[in-house]
Amino acid sequence: MVHTGISADELIKILISAHLNELNQVEMNRFVRFFTPKKVARSALTLITIVFLLLSTPGAAHAQASNIHQTVRLAKPELQNGRIETFTITIPQLGDRQKNIQVYLPPDYDTGDKLYPVIYLGDGEYLFNPPSTTLGDYRIDEILDSLFEQGILDGMIVVGIEHDLNYQWDEYTPWINPNMHEWVKTSNSEPAEGGEGFAYIDFIANTLKPEIDARYRTLTDRENTLIGGFCRNALIPLLGGLIYPAVFSRVMSMSPAVWLAEGGGTWLSNNQLISFINSMDVPKDVRFYIHIGTEESSGPRPPVKDSDGNRITYPRAYVEGAQAVYSALLNNGVPEPNLYFELEEGSSGKRDDWGDRFDFALLWLLEDIRQSVAEPSPETPITPEPVEPSEPVENLEPVIQPTQTPESDPWLILPGFPNFQLHRNYIIGILLGGFLLIPAAGVIVWLLRKR
């Protein structure tokens, strides 16, 4: 927003008026003589300024979401029976950083004193009623409402942990990836990212869960406490089930970005997540649901090569990474009935895809304890080919290095316009247009002088 006391539209009118007044009638009659290169440049700059202001108005810019307490954002859909509450909590494990939390309460929460199981999920701002500008919708609230109304699930509380763009890699990655620019665009990350994942899962287990148990009527035991995540935040649930089995007994990992844990070298030769699993006494009483699509990607083809010297692709990285996790868990003693691996042909790993599988994943995770009148449709889990385990690595303590990183999407926050974002393509168009205007005006002047 412009902080000048006048609107962008008024400023545009003033600029246009001033520019037209400058070219008065006398100058118009002597256009060729007086329209010097200096005036050409001045005119071009004026036009660029006008275009910039037009693009900075709400009609052309992308509105930036403000805070979780906006009533429009958390408006109750017509068919939603559960309700959403929000609050903010401090993360003492990460320098008292603030984290926004959204909580789904089941349809009968306010009509009795029943206790409910709880699932903790990442990507909290998109789980229930996401902003209209969002691509895809998990529909977690609608799915749980439907399961409740059909008598398939006797109610569940969902804790949605919102995403923090200032730490979009660090919180979700237990180990530092020293070669991030091999995997994502240089504008989307620092050369090395990660290292806060252990502190982040400790926050969920030892700070957030006690707060949720104090605020709401929850079943606090491990059997009724689940954790899940999607893509880049799907490593945290795996970590939770591995190092906090007394807290989380059921893990949902959809489209885990196992490549985030790569430590360098050939593909999967030094993956820190796989090495961590291979180096520990893996809990045998935790259920793991892993889902992956065959068409998943996070950007251009990475320059990473396999042990045969062949360059891998992103879909291959996602599939083989998930298979490696499944194999490591199985090889380290997790009973096969506690593992479910699903490879979905054609799935590209979007929010709609994850939402489509959420009900089945939830029912499989809860099948041994849930009260139900209907079973999920029978499906046979896919058993991937075993992947050779990597050698364990030493010193897996997390290195906490908070790093401010650029946003991953193409919308940029403009200095002086805090309430709006501008697309990179607009900026490129403005600059190119400005450079083209100046020589074009010069050609016009030259042609008029030739007359």
Query: How many CA atoms does the CB half-sphere of 35 hold within 13 Å?
Result: 22
Decide if 324 contacts 256 (C-beta within 8 A): no
Q: Say whether both 89 and 59 belong to one domain.
A: no
Q: Say whether both 356 and 438 belong to one domain.
A: no
Is position 392 within any domain? no
Q: Say whether both 37 and 151 belong to one domain.
A: no
Domain CATH code at residue 328: 3.40.50.1820
Q: Say whether both 16 and 152 belong to one domain.
A: no
Decide if 167 contacts 373 (C-beta within 8 A): no
Is position 69 within any domain? no
| Reduced 3-state DSSP string for 41-79 | HHHHHHHHHHHHHHHCCCCCCEECCCCCCCCCCCCCCCC
| pLDDT tens for the chain, residues 1 to 451 | 434 455 545 544 554 454 545 544 444 455 445 445 566 556 656 656 555 544 444 333 333 332 222 222 333 444 458 899 999 999 999 999 999 999 999 999 999 999 999 999 998 888 888 777 777 778 899 999 999 999 999 999 999 999 888 888 999 999 999 999 999 888 889 999 999 999 999 999 999 999 999 999 999 999 999 999 999 999 999 999 999 999 999 999 999 999 999 999 999 999 999 999 999 999 999 999 999 999 998 888 999 999 999 999 999 999 999 999 999 999 999 999 999 999 999 998 888 888 889 999 999 999 988 643 334 444 444 444 444 433 333 333 332 233 333 333 444 444 444 334 444 555 566 666 666 766 776 667 666 666 6
- DSSP assignment of 268-281 equals TTSBHHHHHHHTS-
**Comparing C-alpha atoms, which of 374, 349, 262 is closest to residue 299?**
349
Amino acid sitting at position 30: R
C-alpha 312/C-alpha 448 separation (Å) is 59
From 325, 341, 365, give the residue that closes a domain.
Answer: 365
Decide if 83 contacts 92 (C-beta within 8 A): no
Q: Say whether both 209 and 242 belong to one domain.
A: yes
Q: Say whether both 17 and 139 belong to one domain.
A: no
From 344, 365, 386, give the residue that closes a domain.
Answer: 365
Is position 291 within any domain? yes
From 307, 331, 365, give the residue that closes a domain.
Answer: 365
Q: Say whether both 311 and 242 belong to one domain.
A: yes
Q: Say whether both 130 and 212 belong to one domain.
A: yes
Is position 207 within any domain? yes
Backbone phi, then psi, for 41, in 5-degree steps?
-65, -40
Is position 304 within any domain? yes
Q: Tokens 């809990």 identify what position?
A: 283
Strand bridging mode 97-105 / 157-161: antiparallel
Number of domains comprising the chain: 2
Q: Say whether both 348 and 431 belong to one domain.
A: no
- Which domain covers residue 181, as residue numbers? 83-365
Decide if 183 contacts 177 (C-beta within 8 A): yes
Q: Say whether both 118 and 17 belong to one domain.
A: no
Is position 127 within any domain? yes
Q: Say whether both 141 and 276 belong to one domain.
A: yes
Q: Say whether both 218 and 361 belong to one domain.
A: yes
C-alpha 23/C-alpha 27 separation (Å) is 6
User: CB 446: neighbour CB atoms within 10 A?
Assistant: 10
C-alpha 92/C-alpha 94 separation (Å) is 5
Q: Which two tokens stand for residue 345?
A: 């042909």
Is position 229 within any domain? yes
Is position 277 within any domain? yes
pTM confidence score: 0.67
